[in-house]
Amino acid sequence: MPKSKVTPLYPEQPASTPQRTHNAPPRAEAPYPRALLDRSARAALARATGGVSPAATIEAWTDWALHLAAAPGRRADLADKAATDAMALWTWAMKGALTGKLPEERPFVPSKNDHRFTHPGWASAPFALWQQGFLASQDWWAETTRAIPGLHPHSADRMRFMLRQMLDTASPSNQPALNPEIIEATRDSHGANFVEGAANHREDLIRLLTQAPKEVPEGYEIGEKIACTPGRVIYRNEIMELIQYSPQTESVRPEPVLIVPAWIMKYYILDLSPQNSLINWLVGQGHTVYCISWVNPGEEMRDLELEDYRKDGVMTALDCISRVQPGRQIHACGYCLGGTMLAITAATMARDGDDRLASVTLLAAQTDFTEAGELLLFLDESQVAYLEDLMFDQGYLAKPQMAGAFAAIRAEDLIWTRAVRRYFLGKEDAPTDIGVWNADVTRMPARMHSQYLRGLFMENRLSAGRFAVEGRVISLNDITAPLFIVGTESDHIAPWHSVYKINLFTKAQSTFVLTKGGHNGGIVSEPGHPGRHYRIGCREQGALYTDPDTWFASHDPQEGSWWPAWGDWLASRSGKPVAPPRTGAPEAGLKPMEPAPGTYIFQR
């Protein structure tokens, strides 16, 4: 493991501070004698609040309340809205009372991600009345956070989010006496559902308090049933293992494929069960595939930087592939944060005249963060400082401390629907390969995560032309390798409009795909998966920019998986098949080691 870099908490500042040409996080506070005491105190408070800044919360409430109080016209509009919603609800209910059957067309409809009211019992009285009353309240409160002159948009968005969280807590679907599904289950099981639910709650509470990893269910063993594409680790350093997968065809394309996964979770989201493994599918299509498996860092790696992940991760992997297959260009593919890092690497290589990339594929990866969706609600100076304080003592950000933010964005489905199912209906979570992956926790080094949040999310340095590598600024516009970009329709982590924006900052030939599904499900979309569709379009090098909504309207959906379209795209930019390369290069220091999936994947 690398030695920890000792960095002063508050380094002395020069009299005249030059423009920064590196991406270290800027100091958010001035030094003072007892600053360390204050930071330790905030770290303790951050653990108690889950990293949520009370100051940021109060600031949003105050901003919203004061501007609403000073806007009598807006308050009058809200009174009209309340009257209109109440009249719609009353009219609908009275029609049901007069006819003896509630009208099927309801005035308020749940969002497409809201599965709390799917049980047939919600269609009949009195449950339908409770549901419609709740949705009417939700509709009105959402209106209260619309723009008011002078109200900061971030405050409005945060208020909308917080109000939605509070309303979700009070939903009738969460109350056993008001939820027809819970009542039905209690009647049918004579109350056994509550006994089983209590056992599930006890199990989850113990796991939360002890942070013990969840046991892998039978039939989903890692390395045997999932993450089981044959291959060998051919290189290992402190932050990654490089896996080379064994050929499955008599001949392969001469250009290998390197996959750069996100370090926020483990790589095998792209190598789940054999039938839905993107890696296994690629190998079966006649490609030599390499994949990075990131280390699960501990406290001793607290000072790893973004540059370490680029240099000792992506660049080292490219160097290893060039030693195994010298003279070959490489198709590089990055997923989520791995795609962001790949874009940084590709821009750096272009700047430095390194032409080893045959193409660049970015899967649900952002390079511009001005439209990064509701994740931005958790990112302002106060929030990021709280996260930095939370990482101050432990040296990393743990996955449970991140999972809450991701789940809260879709709390109605990812939190409350699951809670009702486990604790009131007494049902176990059905095991799935993607569920096993989702529960496989990882950590992120404190310094690297702080750089990522500040330099990319908050300051948006990459697309703004202010992101420096080795002391020199890089530009996405320098990338000349053809691009294949994939966004997913219902992505709440990397919204597809944000993913699409790389077309605004590059001039290379670009193929954009918009596929059905979310951040993970849209990518893990193997051929034969029912109900899938995608849109695809190509922008030639140097063509004018088309905005995402215009692009969407001009490209019709095609049924099926986007994987074959990507396979055809890769094949059209590859040479004629040749004999498969050997595994590793022992004479070049790349002796084959453990079988895939390696050792880092098992770190807890």
How is residue 430 written in tokens? 């059905």
Residue 210 CA, chain-centre distance (Å), reads 25
Question: Catalytic one among 320, 333, 336, 538?
Answer: 336
Measure Cα distances from 41 to 31, 449, 556 in Å.
16, 21, 55
One-letter amino acid at 484 equals: F
| 401 phi/psi in degrees, rounded to 5 | -80, -15
Structure tokens at 172: 């009738």
Interatomic CA distance for residues 529 and 515, integer angstroms:
12
Nearest to 220 by CA among 399, 528, 55, 436: 436
CA 326 to chain centre: 35
d(CA 347, CA 475): 6
Listed in sequence order, the residues at least 6 apart from 533 whose beta carbon sits closer than 8 Å to its beta carbon are 515, 516, 557, 558, 559, 560
Query: CB–CB of 453/384 below 8 Å?
Result: yes
Cis upstream peptide for 597 (omega within 30°): yes
DSSP letters, 466-530, are --EETTEE--GGG--S-EEEEEETT-SSS-HHHHHTHHHH--S-EEEEEESS-TTTTTS--TT-T
Q: How far apart are CA 11 and CA 18, in angstroms?
A: 15
Is 93 in a helix, a strand, or coil? helix
CB proximity list for 248: less than 8 A, separation 6 or greater: 283, 284
Residue 585 pairs in a beta bridge with 590
Query: CA–CA separation, 578 vs 325, rounded Å?
Result: 12
Task: Evaluate whether 144 touches 163 at the Cβ level (below 8 Å).
Answer: yes
Is 333 designated active site?
no
Element at 290 (helix H, strand E): strand 289-294
C-beta atoms surrounding 387 within 10 Å = 23
| Single-letter residue type at 334 | G
Q: How far, in Å, CA of 578 to CA of 281, rounded?
A: 19
Residue 233, CB-side half-sphere exposure with 13 Å CA sphere: 17
Q: What is the torsion angle, in degrees rounded to the nearest 10, for the CA atoms of residue 61, residue 66, residue 69 and residue 73?
A: -100
Which pair of tokens denotes residue 276?
Answer: 């839905």
Q: Which 3 state secondary structure label does DSSP give 190?
A: coil
Q: What is the dihedral of CA 553, 559, 562, 566, to 10 degrees?
A: -90
Radius of gyration of the chain (CA): 26
Q: What are phi and psi of 153, to 5 degrees?
A: -55, -35
Q: Given the DSSP bridges, would you call strands 357-363 and 483-488 parallel, antiparallel or unpaired?
A: parallel
With beta carbons less than 8 A apart as the criterion, state whether 244 and 288 touch.
yes
Which residues have a catalytic role annotated?
336
